[in-house]
Structure 1
C-alpha cells in the first residue's frame, strides 16, 4: 500500500468519524453544568468531578508510579515521568482522600515511605496518597518481564516477535494482581470506591476487587491494541483474563477495532460472564496551557546539541526502542529515498530519538542492535564531511527537549507496525502552533483515525513510506498550514482530560443505573 494522499486536508474537521462532533462549542460558564464534551483541561475535569459527586474515595492502580525516588550524589531525587496520562490521573485525584497504588521500583522509594508504605508528604507534592507495593525480583521477572512483556505485549501487537507462554509467569501474574487488588481494598474508604485500573499488567484486578467490594465502580483502560479473537485464542489463560476484565464496570479501549475484538472474544468466552460496559475511548494528551512563540534560535540549539549539519531539512522520530515502533522499516525507507532522490543527499537528516526500553529482554536488545547497525550502514553509504544522514540518539530526553525537537522538525515520522494510539503524533501536532511541519503517520496507529490530515502510510511498505517522506518535504507551506490547523482542532478539543471525564462519567452513570435496577427489582 502506498501513502494515502488527502487532497483537501481541512474538509474532515467537521465530520471526523472517530469524533462525530468536532465543531468547537461555547464553553459553559461556572454556573452551568458540564458534560464530558465540555472538558478541556484539569480545571474543567475538577468541576465535572464535583458535579458528578465522585467524593474522595478515588483510587488509581498502575504498575508504574507517578513519582519515583532515587538515590544520587546530591541525595534523594524525585523523578516524574512525562506524559499526559499522569497529568490527567493526578487531576482525577485532585482532592484529599484519593490514592494512587503502584509498584515501588526506585532506589530510594522505601526510605521515602512510612510504615504503611505511603510516600511521606515531604517527598510528594500532591494532594493524594501514593501507596507503594513492593515486588520481589522473582515477581518482577514473572509478572512484568515474563507474562506482561514476553506474552501479552507481543500477542497484542502485530509484529514478527512471537509471544512466550510460561506457567510460572502466569502464576506470578495472578499473585501480583491479587496483591494489587488487596491494596485497593485496604485503601478504600467506603464500600463503593471509584477504582481506575491501568493497562494489561493488571487485567485480573477488577474481578479480584469485585469479589471483596461488590459495589465498587471499576474502570479499566487497556492502553495497547486488543488482539483479534483468533490471536487471543493462543493465550493459554484467555478465559481467566477475560473473566477478570469483564468484572469491570467499564472496559475502555482505544479504537472501534479494539472494541470489536474485545466484544467478540467476550462473546465466545465461557469465563467472561461479567456485565462490563465496553467502549472506545481514544486517549490523548494535555493541550499546552501556553504556546511558545516561534524561536529563531531553536534550530541552531538542536543542531548543536545533536551534531546536525546546519541548514539541512530535519526529519524527527521519537520512540521507545521497541520492536513495535517500525524503526528499522523507517530507516530502510529513508535510505530508499536517498537512493531515489540524489539531490536530497546533504540536504536532509533524520534525527531518531530511541529511548532504551526493557533491555533485559532479548527482543529489545535485538531491535537496538538492528537500529544501530542500520544507522551506521546508511551513514557509511551516504555520509560526507560535515553531514550525516542519520543521527541516532539512543537515550531518553525530557519532555522539554522532545518538544523542542518537534518544533524544530520539518517532518515527524510515526511509522509504528502496530500501536494502540501513539501520542507522539498528537504531541507533534500540539507543538506546532506555527502551523508548519508535516506528519507521516502509520495506518496501524490508533491516532490515524483522528489525524486524517497526516500522510497515512502502511508501515511495512518501504517504497510507500519513502514516497510519503518525499511528499512531506515537498509540501507547500499553505498546505502544511491547512493540514496542521485541522489536526490541531481535533487534538485541542479531545484532550486527555476529556478522555478521563468520559470514562468516569460513563462508569458512574452505569453503576448508578445498576444500583437503581437492583433496588427496584
Structure 2
C-alpha cells in the first residue's frame, strides 16, 4: 500500500527558516533590552548624584552644627518626589541624623555600603534593595565636615519602573517578532506554492486526466515546472501515453471491424472452445426462476433483475450450472433432495442448484448486511448504511454455504466460475482456498464508491480480500474500476499494477476491468409480433382506458435508488407547466415489489402510491388520470408490450451501475420509434449518448426533458433510436459474456509468484470490450 500523506507540507520547509530568523531577531531584541536596562539604571544614578550634591551644603551644616539645624527639614526636602523616595543622613560615627519617612528603617547607617563611604574606602556606593517589596536603588555619597570624619548622605529611588519598562519592551519585541515570523512564513509559503506546489498540482491533475482517459490527444504537460528534468520526463510521459492510447484505439477499431454480431450460437461455440471441457458455473444470490405458491397453485416467476436478464440467456446458450438462493416458498418441492432442477421449465437448458437458508440467515445475510449495509454504501443516494455484527456473521456463513455448494457440484472436475454481485463478495477467496486452480471472476453489478465512502464499512478489509481472491474483478464502467483500485490502494497492504490495471497481493495478480453489461434481443424470447403484438397493444389501451393518449413508461424494482418519486414529481411539474397535455399524456409505472421485509422498502411503496394518488387527484378528469402505478411481478411479455406501446421510456435512477431497462427499451424498438429519457447517474448514460440525459434531482430540468422528448421532430427521433439500437445490438449480452468469460480464462494469473503468459490466438474475442 502506498504511503499516504507523502506530499511535503509547506510548513516543513517554512519552520526551519522561521526558526533561524526567530533566533537571530530574538537575540538582537534581548541585547537591545539589556542595553536599555543598563542605560536607565545609569540615568537614575546620575539623577541621584545630582540631587545628593545639591543637598550637600545642608547636610554639611547639619553635621557640623547639630544644634543649629532642623533634621526634619532636610529629611522632608525630597519626600516622595517623583521616583525619588527620600534620603538618609548618617554622621561619622554611623549614627542616624536625618531620615525621610518613606525610607525609614530601610537603610541602616551600619550597612556595609554606607560604612565603606564613611570610612573613606569609596567616594560613593550604588546598590539595589530587592527585599523590601519592590526594587529600590540607593546611592550614598560622602559628606566632609571640617577636619572630622565624614558622614554619608543616601539618596533612595524607586527602580520598579525599570522592570516594568523592560517587561513592556520584551512583550513588544515578542509581538513584533511574531508578526515578522508570520509575514516571513506567509511570504515563504506563497513563494513555495507559486514555484513548486501549483505547478506540481497542475502536473498531478494532468497525469490523473491522462490516466483516466479524460485528457485530449493534443494536451501537453503544464508549463513552468520547477525542474527542467521534470519537464523533460513529463513530455516523454505525454508521448508514451499518446502512443499507448493510439495503439488501444487501433486495436479497438480492429476488433470492431472484424467482429460481427454476437449471437447465442456464436457464444456457445466460442465458450465451448474456450472451456475445453470445463464446466461454466455462475453463482448469484438471485435465482433465475422462482417457484411461488399462489391460490393453491405453483407459479413460476422470473424475478425483476438486471442480473437475471443478462445471465439467463448466457446459461441457456452454454448449458452450464447456476448456483443461487432458493427463496420461493415452493422451491423445495420443485427441486430434488440436493436442491437441483433443470431450467427453464419445459426447456431444460441448464441446471439450477438452489442453496437453502433459514429465515434468520436470510434476514441477516440478504435483508440485513447486503441490502441495508452494502447496497446503500455503494449507491450515492444519501441512505445511511446499517452495519450489525450478527448480520455480518450470517453474511460470512451464507458465503461459505454458496462456495461449498459450488465446490460440491464441481467436484474434482474443471470449471470456470463467474461469481455475481455484492451478496457473494467473500466467495472468490473461499473458492480459491480449496481450488486454487479454478479460474474465478467476480462481476460487481452495482457502483463502487470512492474510498472515503467505503472506509466506514467495519469489514472493509475482509470484503476487499474476499473480492481479490478472484482472478478478475469486473465492473460496468471504468470509473468504478478506478474507485475500486483507489480503495484497495488506501486500505490494504497490496501493490497496484497500473500497467496491467490490477492488484498484486500474496503473489497473485487480480485484474480489474470494465464490462458494460447488456441485453439479448427480444425476438429470441418468444414475444408477440405482427398482428398478435398489435392486438395486444390495443388490448392494453382499452384495458387501461388510454385512448389515443401519449404514453410514457417506467419499469423498475421498487427501490429508492430508482428515483420513482422524483419521476412522478417531474410528470406533475410537466403537466403543470404544459396544461395542453392534460388528458393527452399518461405515465405508466411497472413497479415490481422488492425486499419488502425491509421497512425502508415498505415505506417507499407507500410513498409512491400516495404520490401517484396525489398527482391523480390534482389533475385527473372523469375519463382520464395521469399516473398508472401497476405494482406486480410483470412477466417479460407484458413488459415488452408496454415498451412497444410507449412513446417515451423514463429511467431516472439516482445512482445505478448500468440499468438494463434503458437497453431493453431500445432493444424492443425495432420500429425505430420512441424516445429514451435517461438519468445521467446511470452506467448506461456513458453508452447511450443519444438518449435525452437528465438530472433526476432537478425537477424543472426533468419536466423540460419530458417536453423536449414529446416534441422532438420525427427525423431526429428516428435517427437517435437507430444509433441507440446499433449500440445495443453490437454490444449485446452475448458479447458481454464473451468478454467476461474469455478474460476470466485467458488473463495471466500468478502461480507460485510467477506471472503466467496469457494464451494468444488469432481470434479477436480475447480483447476487452
**TM interval, short-chain normalised:** 0.7 to 0.9
1:77 CA displacement? 4.0
Q: Which residue of 1 aligns with 2:378?
A: 156
Higher relative contact order, chain-length normalized (CA < 8 Å, sep 6+) = 1
**Cα distance between partner residues in 2 of 1:49 and 1:428:** 28
Matched, 1:431 2:665: no
The change in CA–CA distance for 1:299 and 1:116 in structure 2 (over 3 A counts) is closer
Q: Which runs of 5+ in 2 are unaligned?
A: 1-248, 495-504, 758-769
RMSD, aligned α-carbons: 2.7
1:76 CA displacement? 4.2
Q: Which residue of 2 aligns with 1:264?
A: 486
Q: Which residue of 1 aligns with 2:577?
A: 340
The change in CA–CA distance for 1:465 and 1:256 in structure 2 (over 3 A counts) is same
Q: Which residue of 2 aligns with 1:111?
A: 333
**Cα distance between partner residues in 2 of 1:198 and 1:519:** 25
**Cα distance between partner residues in 1 of 2:617 and 2:340:** 53
User: Where in structure 2 are the equivalents of 1:47-446 lying within 5 Å?
Assistant: 47-71=269-293, 75-81=297-303, 85-86=307-308, 89-90=311-312, 92-93=314-315, 98-119=320-341, 125-190=347-412, 192-270=414-492, 273=505, 275-289=509-523, 292-293=529-530, 296-308=534-546, 310-446=547-683
1:89 CA displacement? 3.6
**Cα distance between partner residues in 2 of 1:227 and 1:322:** 19
The change in CA–CA distance for 1:483 and 1:104 in structure 2 (over 3 A counts) is same
**Cα distance between partner residues in 2 of 1:68 and 1:257:** 34
The change in CA–CA distance for 1:501 and 1:115 in structure 2 (over 3 A counts) is same
The one-character-per-residue Cα deviations of 1:435-459 (angstroms, maximum 9, x if unpaired) are 1111110000111011100000111
TM-score normalised by the chain length of structure 1: 0.88
Look up the SS of the partner of 1:392 in the other structure. Answer: strand
The change in CA–CA distance for 1:367 and 1:289 in structure 2 (over 3 A counts) is same
**Cα distance between partner residues in 2 of 1:96 and 1:283:** 18
Matched, 1:479 2:716: yes
- How many residue pairs end up in the alignment? 492
Range with bigger deviation, 382-391 or 267-276: 267-276
**Cα distance between partner residues in 2 of 1:464 and 1:114:** 54
The change in CA–CA distance for 1:344 and 1:70 in structure 2 (over 3 A counts) is closer
1:300 CA displacement? 2.8
Look up the SS of the partner of 2:606 in the other structure. Answer: helix
Structure of greater Rg: 2
1:252 CA displacement? 0.8
The one-character-per-residue Cα deviations of 1:4-52 (angstroms, maximum 9, x if unpaired) are xxxxxxxxxxxxx9x95599746xxxxxxxxxx5462211111111221
Q: Which residue of 2 aligns with 1:458?
A: 695
**Cα distance between partner residues in 2 of 1:512 and 1:271:** 19
The one-character-per-residue Cα deviations of 1:218-245 (angstroms, maximum 9, x if unpaired) are 0111111111111100111001000000
The change in CA–CA distance for 1:152 and 1:271 in structure 2 (over 3 A counts) is farther
Range with bigger deviation, 454-463 or 269-278: 269-278
TM-score normalised by the chain length of structure 2: 0.60
1:101 CA displacement? 1.3
1:198 CA displacement? 0.8
Look up the SS of the partner of 1:268 in the other structure. Answer: helix
1:152 CA displacement? 0.6
The one-character-per-residue Cα deviations of 1:339-398 (angstroms, maximum 9, x if unpaired) are 111111111111111111111111111211221111111111111111101111122211
Look up the SS of the partner of 2:594 in the other structure. Answer: coil
Partners of 1:46 and 1:94 within 8 A in 2: no
**Cα distance between partner residues in 2 of 1:340 and 1:484:** 27
The 4+ residue runs of structure 1 with deviation greater than 3 A are: 19-26, 70-98, 120-125, 189-192, 289-299, 511-520
1:515 CA displacement? 8.8
Look up the SS of the partner of 2:703 in the other structure. Answer: helix
Q: Which residue of 2 aligns with 1:11?
A: none
